[in-house]
């Protein structure tokens, strides 16, 4: 087991399963634009680099002509439906309680306002010292400055800081900053891509963290 001071969690696909609400919101925009809906699983594969990339990838060759309208439709709908089916993954509350004495943060490429509403709605907000959304800093994952500022703020070091997430940006964020990388393989990210990045740890279930870090 490795001793840690700071735990940095991703949100979508790591702590909470947001995929179906995101997919429904994308397909609402597609329908309003007179376009065919996309399979939910395909849309979930587009998640991880922020909403702009999500819409760009969903539009495909219709980008950029319909981008602004699609973004507006998506944002309005998702703002009303972001907790329709979204819930914590099994074991999340157990893990957060277990590490009650550690500094815990969320760093996500999701908008801060949406992130805050979700974690408050699911009653896990009080577990986190800080929430950093894609619009909270001038840089985003996998920029290592996100971690370096956190390490300095909480008076720790890179190898006592772990980044836990289901996306390639989470693994790259840790590696770029010299922190510990822990990939979750049961989220929205592509399993083979995650493993190809050779994270320090790879877990099938978030509860495995309890046996890895203290």
- What does pLDDT average to over the chain? 96
Q: Which CATH superfamily, name and number, covers 6-17+87-211?
A: HAD superfamily/HAD-like (3.40.50.1000)
Q: How many CB atoms sit inside 10 A of residue 32's CB?
A: 15
CB 150 within 8 A of CB 129: no
pLDDT at 170: 97
What's the average model confidence in pLDDT over 133-141?
93
pLDDT at 128: 98
pLDDT at 132: 97
Label residue 203 by pLDDT band (50, 70, 90): very high
| Percent of the chain with pLDDT strictly greater than 90 | 94
| Percent of the chain with pLDDT strictly greater than 70 | 100
pTM, rounded to two decimals = 0.93
pLDDT in tens, 28-69: 999 999 999 999 999 988 988 889 999 999 999 888 999 999
Query: What residue ranges of the chain are covered by domains with CATH 3.40.50.1000?
Result: 6-17+87-211
Closest CA to 133 of 69, 51, 72, 41: 51
What's the average model confidence in pLDDT over 154-160?
96
Query: What residue ranges of the chain are covered by domains with CATH 1.10.150?
Result: 19-81
Give, in order, the Cα–Cα distances in Å from 5 to each of 61, 105, 144, 145, 157. Answer: 45, 11, 18, 18, 8
pLDDT at 189: 87
pLDDT at 48: 84
Residue 95 has pLDDT above 90, yes or no: yes
Residue 124 has pLDDT above 90, yes or no: yes
CB 103 within 8 A of CB 129: yes
Annotated active-site positions, please? 10
pLDDT at 50: 86
Which CATH number is 19-81's, of 1.10.3470, 1.20.1550, 1.10.10, 1.10.150?
1.10.150
What does 62-100 look like in DSSP terms, one character per residue? Answer: GTTTTHHHHHHHHHHHHHHHTTSS-EEPTTHHHHHHHTT
Closest CA to 104 of 90, 91, 93, 88: 93
What's the average model confidence in pLDDT over 78-107?
97
CB 14 within 8 A of CB 169: no
């Amino acid at each position: 087991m490795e001793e840690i001071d700071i735990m940095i969690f991703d949100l979508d696909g790591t702590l909470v399963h947001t995929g179906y609400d995101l997919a429904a919101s994308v397909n609402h925009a597609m329908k309003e634009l007179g376009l065919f809906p996309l399979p939910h699983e395909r849309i979930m594969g587009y998640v991880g680099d922020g909403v702009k990339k999500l819409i760009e990838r969903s539009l495909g060759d219709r980008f950029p002509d319909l981008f602004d309208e699609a973004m507006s439709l998506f944002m309005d709908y998702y703002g009303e439906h972001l907790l329709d089916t979204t819930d914590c993954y099994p074991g999340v509350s157990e893990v957060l309680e277990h590490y009650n004495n550690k500094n815990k943060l969320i760093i996500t490429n999701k908008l801060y306002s949406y992130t805050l509403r979700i974690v408050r709605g699911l009653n896990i907000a009080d577990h986190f010292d800080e929430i950093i959304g894609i619009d909270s800093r001038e840089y985003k994952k996998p920029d290592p400055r996100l971690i370096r500022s956190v390490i300095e703020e909480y008076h720790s070091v890179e190898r006592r800081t772990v980044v836990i997430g289901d996306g390639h940006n989470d693994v790259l964020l840790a590696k770029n900053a010299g922190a510990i990388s822990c990939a979750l393989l049961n989220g929205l990210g592509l399993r083979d891509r995650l493993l190809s990045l050779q994270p320090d740890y790879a877990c099938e279930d978030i509860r495995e963290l309890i046996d890895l870090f203290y």
